[in-house]
Each structure stands twice: as C-alpha cells, then as structure tokens.
Structure 1
Amino acid sequence: MGIELDTSAVARLRAAVTGTVYVRGEEGLAAEISCFNPAIRHDPDIVVAVASEEDVVEAVGFAREAGLPVRVQATGHGAEAPIVGGMIVSTRGLDRLSIDAEARRAHIGAGLRWAPVIVAAAEHGLAPVTGSSTSVGAVGYSLGGGIGPLARHYGFTSDWVRGFRVVTADGRIVTADRQTNSDLFWALRGGKGGLAIVTEMTLELVALRSLYGGSVFFEGGAIEPALRAWIDWSADLPDEATTSIALLSVPDLDGPPPPLRGRTVLSVRFAFPGETAEGEKLFAPIRDAAPVYLDFVAEMPATAVASIHNDPEEGGPTWIRGFMLDTFDQDAGDVLLELAGPGSGAPFLAVEVRQIGGATARDTDDGSAVGGRDSGYTLSLLAADPSTFAEAAPARAQAIADALRDRISAITNVNFAGDLADRAAFEKVWPSAVQERLTATRTQWDPDRMFAFGPA
C-alpha cells in the first residue's frame, strides 16, 4: 500500500526539475527503475529521474516535506530486495565524465558505468581500478568498497576515491574529501548508504596500459586436479597477482559462448599488471595442472579488463548469497566439490571464490569505512533458475555455509552481504568500531533517517 501524494506538490516538483517525475502507475516508471536482476521489482510511491545536481536538491526537498524515505538507484545492479513505497531518486542521468590526465583524476557522474571511464582514461595511458563487470555503476560499486580483478595489487576501488559531491538530507550541496567534511568522506568510502546522495565521485587513476590476464577453463576429469592445484598455487602468489575461480554449470541455451553451452567447467582467472614474461611464469603451474579446455590468458590492453571474469552484460533472474572466508584450503575444496561440484546436483549457475588479501588488507593512510579487510577470500553462490530460489538454492547454500562455518569471516563486505534489511546480515558488514562510527556519522548527516538504509 502506498500513500496518497499531494498532486499540487507533485506538479510543483515537475515544474522545478529538468528530469522526469513518475508516480505509481504512470507509464515509464517501471522502465526507469528496472533492475539488472528482473526478479527484483520495485514499487515506490514516486520516482525522480534526475538530470542535474539541482534536480536532486528538489527531490530531497519534496521528500522531506512529504515525509518520504528516499532510496537511490543508478544502473540497478545492486538491487537485493524490492523497494516498496517512498521515493527512488534515479541517478542514471548523471552521466558526466571528465578526465584530468595531468592530475590522474576522473570526475565521474553518479549514473555512469565503468565502461566509458575505462575508454576515456585509456586515451591517456591510465585506468580506473574497476570491478569485474564494466556495466556496473561506478559510484554505487565504490561506495561499498569494490573488489575487482586487480584487487590484490591495487586494493579496494574506494581506496582510490579522492572526493565526492553530495546532496545532504537538508538539501545542501557539499564536497567531502580529506580536507572538507572528512568524517563524511571516511564514511562514504565503504559505508555504502544512509549518508547523502552522491552526485559525483573523483577517482585517482593508475598508470596502466596493459596487463597479463584472462581465464582458462577445465572440464570433466580435469576440474578437480585444477581446483586443487589452484588452492595450493594461489596461497604462494605475490600480492601483485590476483586470481579467482568459478565453477560454472552453463545451460545449453543461446547466450553463453557455444564452447561452454551445456557444460560444467572450472574457470581460473588471473590478472597481473606486470611484465608478460613474469606473468606467464607465475601462471604456468595452472596450465600444467590438468588438460586445459579453453585458454584465454595472455597479454591484453587494460581496456579488456572485463574479459577476465566475463560477467554477463545482460541481466536475468538471479538468487545470490555471498560471504567472506578467512581461509580456503584443501578441506574447503572438498566441501566445494562435494556440495557444488560436478555431479553434486547443486542448483547454482556459478560458484565463485576470489582470493583477496594483499593490498585489500591495508587501509588508506587516512582511514576508510570498508569492511572485510581481514578476510582472505570471498565466496559467492548464484542460481539462475527461479524454481530454485525459494528452497533448493537457499538450502544448498546453507549446507555449504554450515560446512565452512569455522572459516567464514566475522565480517562480510557490504557489497557481498545481500539484503541489508536483515538485521543479522547488517550487523556483520562492518567491525563494531566502524559500525559505531558509521551510525554516529549517519545520525549527524541524516538525523531523521530520510535516506533509508539497513533494517527499519
């Protein structure tokens, strides 16, 4: 059930903004707030598709007067649960981008995806520290920290953020960086939400034209020896190298690459931003571990970073559970093979383990709110068959969690935590000291909790 909006106030809002205002039931609303996961369908009272920073100010003022909670969505990738009621500010129209090559800075609008940032930076021999998918919104991803294909070398993406422009709950446009509103800057790097609406992010770029990376695939009887080799090999990798694995049960349908359709495979991903010869030497033990089915690891331009994980560009119904692990050894490999490997009957399209550590374990010199720095690995379970979402996927995920309970980290980074309306999940996304400081910062900047975030 929604609320009845004041039609004259809505008319004034429409006249004040250059973007578009939708109220429940109007054509265009559903398309504006559609999610990458179409199983998630929002039902807000009102949506403001902003086209400028001033539009955000007007939207916040309307919500404050109407007593509406406000949530923000850009690309729709981060949606974990339906939003019912209140206002959604859609920031996908805030897509400005400028590159200051001399200062190695990118100024990124809140609605921009990574792909155009990568292309623009590459013209200057630079690159952003991105996530595995370049279709994800840069700002929303970075607010939670951000673990990408080069994380062990460069750290969390948020570690490279140098400033934000935001609209506060009282409708002010302010800057947050090391020198100005430093408490808010600390919180925005890893604190995710409930603070302000980000309109622009300033990101430091790294000097990177090419890297040695990609993925190799193993199938059939090669999966287990390759997985076991990866477990031992990755434990000794230098911090400059980042790796992950994914057990994939690929449906025999149009969409996936033909060589993978209808197959169960193990993908081993690798990224090394150094000399090709050194990268080849580091990766050789994986190629030697078992017969390789497909091999796409080679020197590549930095603009091809998305090909390392090959995340889908088009969305589909998904059920996801994620958490972090302190360790991942051969015993954990036993669990993965038994409960999610070939022949296990697991209902998952993908089971992914990312090795982190290295630079992700080191906070910035001025501190940030990122949770999960003490973990060694992430584990994500993804199901794509809606018939499994209610029972089969949650039950198998719980069995895996139970089997790995002694190594599940006390803290799971907010980007991997799922629905934060669950109080138990919310309380495990930051260490207690960080959680307390975040609560205080949210209270300072949004005392009435207008920017809805976390459990009610």
Structure 2
Amino acid sequence: MSSTLADALSAHVQGPVLVPGAPGYDDEVAAFNLAARIRPDVVVGATGVADVVAAVRAAREHRVPLRVQSTGHGAERPVTSGVLVTTRRLDEVVVDPASRTATVGAGARWGAVVERTAEHGLVPVVGSSSNVGVVGFLLGGGLGPLARSHGFGSDRLLSATVVTGTGDVVEADDGEHADLLWALRGGDAVPGVVVAVRIALVEVPALYAGALVFDTPHVETVLRGWLDWTAHADDLTTTSAAVVRMPPIDAVPEPLRGRTVLSLRVARPGPVDAGERAAAPLRALAPAMIDGLGPLAARDSDRIHGDPTAPAPVWTGGALLAGAADGFADAWLDTVGPGTEHPFVAVELRHVAGAGGRASGADAVAGRDAAFTLGLVSVGPEARASGPGAAERVLAAVAPWLADEANPNMSGALPGRWRADVAARLDEVRRRYDPDDVLGSRAAVPSGVH
C-alpha cells in the first residue's frame, strides 16, 4: 500500500514523498517530542498549497488517514499509518505594519514572527516559548505570559487558508466560512490542513518581566503567599509558579544544581515603576536565590519561562482550575511539593483569569472561565510510561478545584474538554468540511460538559 500511495503522490507533489527506509524519511518525520512514535506509511513534505491538496485527495481516495505536523511540539499521539503532511517548508512571514497584521505560513515558528514584527514595534500574542509552531498554538487557543493582559492568542486570528478534508481550498474569515474560522479559534483538531493564517499584532512598548527563584525551604511559603496574592492581582499582571527539580548536571548553574526550587514568573506590560509596585509583594514573600525581574523587551519574552529549545523525550499533562482556595495549597504541596515522590521535573500553576475570559465568544476556546492552568512535565526515556499514572494521582488529589473544561494546549497528552454546546457545534463543523473524517478530527470528539 505504501509504495502504491507514494507513487500516486509523487506524480502530483513537488516536495519530497518518502516511505520508511528511504533516505531523509527519519528526518522528515522527526518531532520535537522524541518520545512520540511517528512512522506513517508515507510522508509528504509540502512546499505549497498544491502539495497539500494532492496529499488530502490521495488520502481520501485511498481511504487512509492523514495527519499534519509542523514543529512536532504537540506530538503526543502516535502516527503509525497513512499519510503525514509536514508543513515546515511553508514558513513565510509577511508583516503589514499599516494594518498591524502578519500573514504566516503553517510551518513558521513564533520566533520567526517575533523577529519580523519587532522591526515595526509590534509583537504577536505568543506562548511561553517562541520555538513552537504558530498554527498549533492558535488551534488550541494559546495562552502565554500575557494571558491576563491580552487573553488567548487565537483572539488575534483574523483569517486562515485551509485545505479541507474534501481537498478544497477555502479562505476562512468572519465573512466567508465563518463557522470554520470559529472552530480554528481554539477548536484544536480541525477538519482541514491550515496552510497559512493572518493574525493581528499588538504594541507592547514596555514590559516588566522575569522570574524570582526561591530555594527549597521557601517553596511552601512562597507558593501559599503567591496564591493569596493572585486573589487581588491586577489584570495586567500575569504570573505563574513552578516547582522545578533541577538536575545535577553542568548545564544548570551551580547554585541551582540538584535543588528543588520554586520559579515565580512575572510579566506586566507597562512602565517599569508600575511593574515594580505590582511585584513588590512577591519579592517580599521570601529571600530569592535569583532575582531576574526587570525591564524586558517584548521580543525577548522567552526569557521569562526559559522553556527548553532542544528536542527531548517528554510527557506533558495538564488541566484547568476553577480556583485555588479552601485547602488547594495543602493538596498541591502534599502531592507535588518538595520531598514528594513523582516523575515530574516541573509542576506549574499559571494564573490566567483576566482578559482571556472577556472575548466576544466568536470562537471555540475551552476554559475562558478558568482561574489557573495546571501543568505537569516529565522528561526522559521513561516519561511516556510513568507520566499518565502519576498525572491521574495528581488530578485526583486536586479534583475539588478542577474546572469543567480542559484547554487542549494546556492539557498535553490528556484530552481537551469543551462545553456541551461548543462540542456539538465543533462536531457539526467537522462533519461539514471533512465528511469522510480523513483528518481524524472526529476520532476523539471533544466531550461536552454542562
């Protein structure tokens, strides 16, 4: 089957068409998450819209599944058959400073967009890492260091060029194919291959940001103090608290090596003096090992979280919290605090209630009403084996505080979860644009909650 399908595709595709064992196949299918098993029957390295159309139509004709990969950051589920379309070559970024917009190819990473937009004093609303792909971030909603001040990244998605599951090319915006654009704004699995997006940009002329790092004896005090502080935080200040187990390796600064620390991340657009006032109560919680707060160019926001940039085998999981009062800190520290047994190198809480909950509703984003995100990260060869069971124990411990919905970008390998009305509408859109479910967008239909 693979050779027949590859021959059919090669006749219509300009980019590489590769089967297992062929030179270049392993590099073409490689994901950022090295724990992911990505071994399709055929991989198509798309060089343009026509290549994507040919791949979708061939998959539909041969009745095999088609999947899409850009950077491979979201590679949590295995791909062991069918066609994989890689979009990394579709990486053009065109900025229109007059309209404060950028048109971005599906293979671009946020770093490339930031580099181009910064020339014009503009930035996109990105996540904690600009190394991730633009499209995957937007499809899940997209939360980052500016979550409270600027909301979800998908709030800035203006239009998209999509090859649907029937092999048709459509331009989805608020006028044409508005139902598809609605699904693209946070609906995660979509009934087509996104080949380009147009996004709105924002001005962030000043940013006060960075991280405070606290040693093990202060983790509990700072975690509790931060949670209390979030109850009165202003809507411009976005913070997160991560308990991190620093590995005993040379790449880690000597004071942190082998330590369990709490990294308290802060980002606030606006004047430096206002940022210092907002962060003062956090600085006062305990003596910091490292005080990295200060003025920061918006284009350098990666420094706030310091997410890894090198591929590694990982397992990530997460959930949303409706709140974190009435005993939550006890449950969290008893389960993942210093001295507890679990496989995670980092466990994080992000305070996100704010602008993200105030959008127009013209989207399928899950979790706008959540107060916090909860993230779990396990790294290493055993991550995929140990992560799921440990995550179940963590979620069980904090079950009273979990939100009804689950945002797919923040859930990692765990499923997203939408309100029942949103889930039903997503299913309708998926059936309309991909009636044969070529892209498998209905393979894991989001469960509805009331």
Normalised to the residue count of structure 1, the TM-score between the two structures is 0.94
Counterpart among 424, 430, 443 of residue 431 in structure 2 = 443
Counterpart among 157, 168, 171 of residue 161 in structure 1 = 157
1:13 and 2:9 correspond: yes
Aligned equivalents of 2:240, 2:72: Cα separation in 1: 25
1:95: Cα distance to partner?
A: 0.3
Aligned equivalents of 1:257, 1:178: Cα separation in 2: 49
Aligned equivalents of 1:259, 1:109: Cα separation in 2: 42
Matches within 5 A, 1:321-340: 321-329=317-325, 331-340=327-336
In the alignment, structure 2 segments of 5+ residues that lack a partner are 445-450
Amino acid at match of 2:377: L
In the alignment, structure 1 segments of 5+ residues that lack a partner are none
1:336: Cα distance to partner?
A: 2.0
Matches within 5 A, 1:15-94: 15-94=11-90
SS where residue 206 of structure 1 aligns? coil
1:282: Cα distance to partner?
A: 0.5
Matches within 5 A, 1:249-288: 249-288=245-284
8 Å Cα contact 1:231/1:330 also seen in 2: no
Aligned equivalents of 1:288, 1:198: Cα separation in 2: 47
Instruction: Please list the CA deviations of residues 318-372 of structure 1 after superposition, one character each: whole Å capped at 9, or x if unmatched.
Output: 122211110113621112222211111332100000011111112336x101111
Change in CA separation of 1:220 and 1:362 when aligned onto 2, cut-off 3 Å: same
CA RMSD between the two structures: 1.6
1:406: Cα distance to partner?
A: 1.0
Aligned equivalents of 1:178, 1:388: Cα separation in 2: 41
Determine the structure 1 residue equivalent to 2:369: 374
1:115 and 2:103 correspond: no
Matches within 5 A, 1:183-222: 183-222=179-218
Instruction: Please list the CA deviations of residues 60-105 of structure 1 after superposition, one character each: whole Å capped at 9, or x if unmatched.
Output: 1211221111111000000112111011110011001100000000
Aligned equivalents of 2:205, 2:16: Cα separation in 1: 39
Aligned equivalents of 1:381, 1:316: Cα separation in 2: 15
Aligned equivalents of 1:201, 1:385: Cα separation in 2: 34
Determine the structure 2 residue equivalent to 1:355: 351
Aligned equivalents of 2:109, 2:407: Cα separation in 1: 21
Aligned equivalents of 1:70, 1:389: Cα separation in 2: 24
Instruction: Please list the CA deviations of residues 354-413 of structure 1 after superposition, one character each: whole Å capped at 9, or x if unmatched.
Output: 011111112336x1011111211111111124346434x444332221221111111101
Instruction: Please list the CA deviations of residues 246-297 of structure 1 after superposition, one character each: whole Å capped at 9, or x if unmatched.
Output: 0000111243344422111100001101111011000001111101100111
Amino acid at match of 2:368: R
Determine the structure 1 residue equivalent to 2:448: none
Aligned equivalents of 2:384, 2:438: Cα separation in 1: 32
SS where residue 73 of structure 2 aligns? coil
Aligned equivalents of 1:91, 1:388: Cα separation in 2: 27
1:296 and 2:292 correspond: yes
1:405 and 2:399 correspond: yes
SS where residue 345 of structure 1 aligns? coil
